[in-house]
Amino acid sequence: MKMINGEEFYSLNDKVMIVREALPKLSEIDNDCELREEVKKISEEIEISEEAILTELKRYRSGADDTRYTFIKLDSTPGNVMAEKFLIRCMLNDKEMAKKILRKMRARNFSVLLHRKIVRAIDRILEEDGEINSQNLIGYLPSQEAIKIIIDILMKEKIYSDEKVIFGFIDTVNNFRLLQEKKLKKRW
């Protein structure tokens, strides 16, 4: 999400991820009026046509495994996503390390929408001088998917205390973001 003249704007990747997250919920709505109202809300929020959302929903309901081609083909590399998870794990483990990481980067640098939400929640907890732990974090995250990711990160990801390694992860995430921005500029 970008700020321009005090207004927030979603990037194309944000819009794609928001629609993807909404598809399972939308597919469960049987009432056409309710469905159209939900689609309209999403459409107005992220400024994308209702028709595009309904097209993606149709593809999702038909069993299409990969709905990303209608919007944009995302180039999220496993190394970048892994680096994001490692950084989140480090922030969850050590409040001081979380502060150091957030001095070097912002949530917007994370390519995975749910990772950005988690990092924003960590940032808010730090602003309120709260304790960073899974319980406090879950209170800031209404999405069940975000909670699942936190649990997955806590269970699977290693904890790194070597600052060189952690700063290497920061560089990986920041460089990926710069590369994505460069690719978008070339398209336009």
DSSP reduced 3-state for 9: strand
Confidence check: pLDDT of 65 > 80: no
Averaged pLDDT score across all residues of the chain = 81
Residue ranges of the domains in the chain? 2-70, 78-187
Mean pLDDT of the region 23-32: 87
78-187 CATH pick, 2.40.160.40, 1.10.10.10, 1.10.860.10, 1.25.40.10: 1.10.860.10
Cβ neighbours for 87, distance < 8 A, ≥ 6 positions apart: 101, 166, 169, 170, 173
What does DSSP say about strands 7-9 and 2-4: parallel, antiparallel, or unpaired? antiparallel
Of 167 and 160, more confident: 167
Whether pTM exceeds 0.85 = no
